[in-house]
Structure 1
Amino acid sequence: MMREHGQARGIEGAIVQRGDADYEAVRAGMVWNGLKPERFPEVIVRAASERDVPEAIGLARSRGLRIAVRAGGHSWCGSSLRSDGMLIDLSRLRRFDIDVASATATVQPAVTGSELAPELAARGLAFPTGHCGSVAVGGYLLSGGLGWNSGALGPACRSVYEIEAVTADGEVVRCNEDENPDLFWAARGAGPGFFAVVTSFRLRLHRHPGAIMSTTYAFPLADIEKVANWAAGTANELEPTVELSLVLSTAAPHMTKERPRPKVIVVAATAFAESSEQAAQSLGPLQNCPFADRALFREADEPVSLDALYDASTDVWPAQHRYAADTLWSQADLGTLLYKLGDAVASAPSDKSLVLAPVSPASHDQDLLRDMAFSVLGDSYVVPYAIWDDPAEDGINIRWLREAMSAVEPLGTGHYIAEADLTASPARAERSFTTSDWQRLQTLRARYDPEGVFHSYLTP
């Protein structure tokens, strides 16, 4: 619907107010998760273009409403859905332009990985998009972006070299290493607490790999500790272009004929290389598993496309389901962390729930982690996901997630802001950054948004 409300006359997009007939349908659509938070913005502005953003900020200021921003709505805890304020919905800002000659792209915030990646591939180019194809680049890049091939390319925000943003006073600014460098630093990792609205990202693109290949093992869940320790040790022999993850889950249907399907620990490696020969060579260290005969499933050096990787992610994180997730960085070894989480997975109330442990979730190359708010806070990283589809089971599944986290949290050194359960503790946001980065973010917030026009981080 479209309404005019005084200062709203300059807004081309729809303005939906609490109490309107279509409010609840629009509000629910602001979150991809089937589990909808009980938080209710007073006004939702569905921007038709970047021109609507300064107008929406002006409207919010005139009404004394604090602002939250949404691009794709993939935040598990629904960070953008806040009560008693305005939500600026950017989901209609979906344009992108690829410049092959300069290997750059200009991308609006609601463009998804599954839209961008094939267009890049057709031109021999790539970008470390999110692992789920439906994730929009806006929130993903603002939170750092742990995506495909990030071991070699660094977090996705490393490949952002300029943004266009609208500040709390409605000014449109360009930010890069030379212009507004402090705001640019914050935009690369501040996540849902960022104190401006990014309407455009300028991306540095990379060569598309000539071959993508995967190796996968599935072992009984009882083998957690030795499998995790072997995989973590083997990771040191792998090229940065090999993305290695461990997953504690119910075995996928193609992995076993057993019914019911058993719980397993999966070792999954994906190599991004110039050729099939090079990809197979880079996966070579994984062939030397001393207990390969224990594997319930094994598939080595399997050619795979990015489309197939996205399809696999959709199978693991299907739409129309209910989700709760949390993250933990730690200095403890993966074997210790996953051993503590094994019992939780074995007793999960939903057989869709899992624990993901990327072995190198950002990069060991510190040069790829400089000059950004995104913080790597440990050598190990785990993400438990509660996944279910029955609203009657909300309580038991959320409780499962909290209990799983409590088993490992004493070993934690922080959280990843993109997927942290910010509703679990007031300290979650602060613990997602180094002390110095957190202090710098607070200083910059005070400078760029002294009146508190934008919501800060979600809290319980």
Structure 2
Amino acid sequence: MSEDSGRSRIEGVVLHRGDAGYETARAHALWNGLTPDRRPDMIVRAACEQDVRHVLKVAASRGLHVAVRAGGHSWCGSPLRDGGVLLDLSGLDRWEIDADSATATVQPGAIGSRFARELARHDLAFPAGHCPSVALGGYLLSGGLGWNSGLWGVGCASVLEVTAVTSDGDVLRCTEEEHPGLFWAARGAGPGFFAVVTRFRLRLQPRPSALATTSCTFPLAAVGPVADWATETARELPANVELSLLLATEGASGATDGPSSKVVVVTATAFANAHPEAVGALHPLRSRPLSERPLSRQLDRPTSLAALYAAATDLWPEKHRYAADTLWSHESYASLLTKLGEAFAEAPSGNSVVLAPVSPVSQEEGLLRNMAFSVLGESYVVPYAVWSDPAHDHVNVRWLREAVRAVEPWGSGHYIAETDLTADPSRARRSFTTADWERLQSVRAEYDPQGLFFSYLSGRCGPE
């Protein structure tokens, strides 16, 4: 097939650099308002799954590398590269739910919160991402740290099968038995994955019908003892309770000179089937003594997934600019958050936060088996710089990177979905165990021997 005939068979929108609409499409490639100065040669918004094969053939014929986006939530802008083709799968957003078998088949552009809403109609659920606008494609490829992961595991643990288009245009059904190497890589390889997944078949869960939340707010100065208390309490919580620590600015307005009331918030949400069950699951938060007096406390408040998504929207507002990084560590949360708290006290934006999900990802037998994703430490922290004014890009990115440098000596790895791959070329390698990294290179050589797909992003992204 010639290059021209391949392009003519693409049903979706094809834009070249310089075309009308190109810059708008480039800016919309990322959810983040901080768009890096990188420009693909072509941007293609696929209209159907068949477009994927045609795009790969055109790219191969022109000697262009391919990057893929589903929802564009990569903080460092992994899908946006200089040169090559950006293949936009956001238009592939359908799903089919089989309530009888508690499974679903979803396309990569499906939005997690919309999918969750539809599952609820069938009394089913899935550990979708916490931010409501995250698409399932990149989320599942990166592992997927989502709702109720202490009980259900990471999102990719529920992937039963993927349909993947390889660099030579083959459409492969990948399971633990068929193309097991590619299936393994599709569960955790993240933005360096070397094929295009057009469908995921997912295992679903019964929908928890009663959710309840307990939250306590303390002064930032108390972060060390509060983190120790939360960590000890988490050990007594059942697996269906999700507990996190958040360093935030109370009443943040987003202005650089905004409110200075820095706090640490402990939040625990129980996913249960009746309110008394949820209250019982949250009981350790009431029964364990803590010498620090909270500024405020709400106990056992009934909530819903819609309310949780609304809170996440407040935490990560649209039309803002973001920089983020991650760190797995064997150090205690108290040590990590005390150090990050010192940095957070100087955060230039009132909207910036530091998140520490204390509840462990489920490591039940089988849930972390046969996947590139792995838990790389007992503690996990994610600092986010969040601001709105482009004039403040430099100071906010600098703050984020200095905050991470303060705790990086304690690091044992990163989470590939959210780490700043531009900060250090070794970030990608350190997001996997040594054995998994070596296996990824081997599987890549098998399924993408000519290197059609871009590997992991590295290099400059935004101000240093």
TM-score, normalised by the number of residues in structure 2: 0.96
2:30 is equivalent to residue 31 of structure 1: yes
Q: Which residue is 1:184 aligned to?
A: 183
Q: Which residue is 1:437 aligned to?
A: 436
1:368 aligns to what SS in structure 2? coil
1:164 aligns to what SS in structure 2? strand
Q: Which residue is 2:224 aligned to?
A: 225
Q: Which residue is 1:455 aligned to?
A: 454
* Displacement after TM superposition at 1:294 (Å): 1.2
Q: Name the count of aligned residue pairs.
A: 453
1:203-222 Cα distance to aligned partner (Å, 9 max, x none): 11000002111000000000
CA distance in 1, matches of 2:259, 2:185: 48
| Percent of residue pairs identical | 62
Task: Compute the RMSD of aligned alpha carbons.
Answer: 1.4
CA distance in 1, matches of 2:288, 2:182: 47
Q: Which residue is 2:413 aligned to?
A: 414
Range that drifts further, 384-393 or 271-280: 271-280
1:329 aligns to what SS in structure 2? strand
* Displacement after TM superposition at 1:292 (Å): 6.7
Q: Which residue is 1:347 aligned to?
A: 346
Q: Which residue is 1:284 aligned to?
A: 283
Range that drifts further, 361-370 or 113-122: 361-370
8 Å CA contact retained: 1:248, 1:354: yes
1:10-21 to structure 2, matched below 5 A, reads 10-21=9-20
1:228-377 to structure 2, matched below 5 A, reads 228-252=227-251, 260=259, 262-291=261-290, 294-377=293-376
CA distance 1:364–1:233, change in 2 (3 Å)? farther
1:301-331 Cα distance to aligned partner (Å, 9 max, x none): 0010000000000000000000000000000
Q: Which residue is 1:40 aligned to?
A: 39
CA distance in 1, matches of 2:187, 2:366: 15
CA distance in 2, matches of 1:183, 1:266: 40
CA distance in 2, matches of 1:274, 1:375: 30
1:68 aligns to what SS in structure 2? strand
CA distance 1:262–1:366, change in 2 (3 Å)? farther
Q: What code does the residue aligned with 2:6 have?
A: Q
CA distance in 1, matches of 2:149, 2:292: 31
2:19 aligns to what SS in structure 1? coil
1:201-258 Cα distance to aligned partner (Å, 9 max, x none): 11110000021110000000000100000100110000011000000111247xxxxx
Q: What code does the residue aligned with 1:327 have?
A: T
Q: Which residue is 2:60 aligned to?
A: 61
1:98-139 Cα distance to aligned partner (Å, 9 max, x none): 111111111000111121011101110000000011000000
8 Å CA contact retained: 1:324, 1:401: yes
8 Å CA contact retained: 1:361, 1:381: no
Q: Which residue is 1:82 aligned to?
A: 81
CA distance 1:292–1:334, change in 2 (3 Å)? same
* Displacement after TM superposition at 1:291 (Å): 3.2
* Displacement after TM superposition at 1:19 (Å): 1.1
1:124-143 to structure 2, matched below 5 A, reads 124-143=123-142
Q: Which residue is 1:50 aligned to?
A: 49
CA distance in 1, matches of 2:36, 2:149: 31
CA distance in 1, matches of 2:223, 2:365: 30
Q: What code does the residue aligned with 1:325 have?
A: A
CA distance in 2, matches of 1:52, 1:360: 41
8 Å CA contact retained: 2:126, 2:204: yes
* Displacement after TM superposition at 1:22 (Å): 1.3
Q: What code does the residue aligned with 2:384 have?
A: Y
Q: Which residue is 1:256 aligned to?
A: none
8 Å CA contact retained: 2:222, 2:292: no
TM-score, normalised by the number of residues in structure 1: 0.97
* Displacement after TM superposition at 1:363 (Å): 2.0
CA distance in 2, matches of 1:262, 1:393: 21
8 Å CA contact retained: 1:96, 1:111: yes
Q: What code does the residue aligned with 1:63 have?
A: R
* Displacement after TM superposition at 1:293 (Å): 6.4
Q: What code does the residue aligned with 1:245 have?
A: S
8 Å CA contact retained: 1:150, 1:363: yes
Q: Which residue is 2:462 aligned to?
A: none
1:174-205 Cα distance to aligned partner (Å, 9 max, x none): 11111111100000000000000000111110
Q: What code does the residue aligned with 1:213 have?
A: A
CA distance in 1, matches of 2:305, 2:121: 12
Q: What code does the residue aligned with 1:272 have?
A: F
Q: Which residue is 2:156 aligned to?
A: 157
8 Å CA contact retained: 1:219, 1:265: yes
8 Å CA contact retained: 2:259, 2:350: no
* Displacement after TM superposition at 1:367 (Å): 3.1
1:395-433 Cα distance to aligned partner (Å, 9 max, x none): 000000000001100000000000000000000000000
Q: What code does the residue aligned with 1:100 have?
A: A
CA distance in 1, matches of 2:48, 2:261: 49
CA distance in 1, matches of 2:419, 2:282: 31
CA distance in 1, matches of 2:177, 2:6: 34
CA distance in 2, matches of 1:125, 1:90: 26
CA distance in 1, matches of 2:361, 2:36: 30
8 Å CA contact retained: 1:146, 1:361: no
8 Å CA contact retained: 2:387, 2:396: yes
CA distance in 1, matches of 2:229, 2:360: 17
8 Å CA contact retained: 1:44, 1:88: yes
* Displacement after TM superposition at 1:370 (Å): 1.0
CA distance 1:404–1:111, change in 2 (3 Å)? same
8 Å CA contact retained: 2:249, 2:259: no
CA distance in 2, matches of 1:384, 1:415: 12
2:439 aligns to what SS in structure 1? helix
1:56-87 Cα distance to aligned partner (Å, 9 max, x none): 00000000000000100000001011111001
Q: What code does the residue aligned with 2:248 have?
A: S
Q: What code does the residue aligned with 2:428 have?
A: A
CA distance in 2, matches of 1:343, 1:292: 21
1:320 aligns to what SS in structure 2? coil
Q: Which residue is 1:197 aligned to?
A: 196
CA distance in 2, matches of 1:392, 1:220: 30
Question: What stretches of structure 1 move > 6 A for 4+ residues in a row?
Answer: none
8 Å CA contact retained: 1:358, 1:382: yes
8 Å CA contact retained: 2:160, 2:202: yes
Q: Which residue is 2:255 aligned to?
A: none
